[in-house]
Amino acid sequence: MIKLNQFQRDQRRVAQSFSTAAERYDMVASLQRQVVHHLLDMDFNNRCGALLEFGCGTGYATWQLAQDNAIDTVWALDIASGMVNYACHHRPHSKIRWLVADAHYLPFGDSTMDTVFSSLALQWCENLSQICVEVARVLKMDGCLQFATLGPDTLHELRQAWSMVDQYQHINHFIPLSQLETTLKLYFGQVRWVHKQIVLRYTQMTELTRQLKILGASNHNRAAASGLMGRSRLERLQQAYEKWRDQEGLLPATYDVFYLQASHPKNINSR
C-alpha cells in the first residue's frame, strides 16, 4: 500500500521543472489555454479590486486579468523563478506585480485580496488544506477564490498504458472532486463547481509525452519511477497505448477538469 505522503509533490523539483520549461511552455500549452479561457468565461462572481493569481506561469491569464477595468492590481505569483522572469519580460503591464513565492505561504496580510484566481496550478501543490488556510486568510470577507484543477481521470489512457509496462506510478495523483469539495467547505461557506472533460488527440503517443516534457509537467510524486526510458520500454508503452486509437486513426488523451469557486471565507479568528 502506498502511504499518503508518497503522493506528495516535491515542491523544489516542481519549481525547477517549471523554471526550465518557461521558454518553450507557451508553444505547447493548448490544453492550458482552453482551460483558462473557460475559467475566465465562467458564470462565477465578478472578479474585482486586488486580485492574486497563484501559479501564474508565463503570465497568459495574468495579462488578460489586467485588462479587466474592475481589477485594480494583479499580484501574480509563481514558485518557479524562471516562469516569473519569462512572464514579466513577455507580458509586462502596469497593473501587474510579479512575485516568486510558494502558494502555501502567501506573502500578504490578512483580508487584503478581493479575488484569488488560479488555473491548473493547484494539482502541483503539496497540501490542499494549507492552500485553503492561506487563501481564506488573505481574502476579504466578501472575496472569492476561482480556480481550475485536474481530476483523477486525467491521462487515464497513459496511466493504463504504463501499467502494462511496469508497476511504477508515472502519472501524478489527482484529488477527487468529493475530496476537493469537502476540504474547501471547511474553509469557505459556499462552494460551486463545474466538471468538464477535454480530450486532445494525437497521431503518435510520443507527441503527447514530448508535449508533457516541454510543459514541465512531469511526475513529481515521491513514488514516481526513476531512471531513463529505454527503447524497449518506450516501444511497449506505445504498443499498449495503441488500444485507444480511434476510428479517425488518432490517439486520445483525456483531461478531467474541475472549475471551482469558493466564497465566504471562514477565517473568523483573524478578523
Judged by the rule CB under 6 A, the positions of this chain that interact with ligand SAM are 11, 14-15, 18, 29, 32, 36, 54-57, 60-61, 77-80, 83, 102-104, 119-121, 124-125
CB of 108 to ligand SAM, least distance (A): 13
CB of 132 to ligand SAM, least distance (A): 13
CB-nearer residue toward ligand SAM: 64 or 238: 64
CB-nearer residue toward ligand SAM: 61 or 253: 61
CB of 242 to ligand SAM, least distance (A): 28
CB-nearer residue toward ligand SAM: 92 or 189: 92
8 Å CB contact between 87 and 59: yes
CB-nearer residue toward ligand SAM: 83 or 158: 83
CB of 27 to ligand SAM, least distance (A): 12
CB of 231 to ligand SAM, least distance (A): 29
CB-nearer residue toward ligand SAM: 112 or 238: 112
CB-nearer residue toward ligand SAM: 104 or 222: 104
CA distance 19 to 155: 23
CB of 14 to ligand SAM, least distance (A): 5
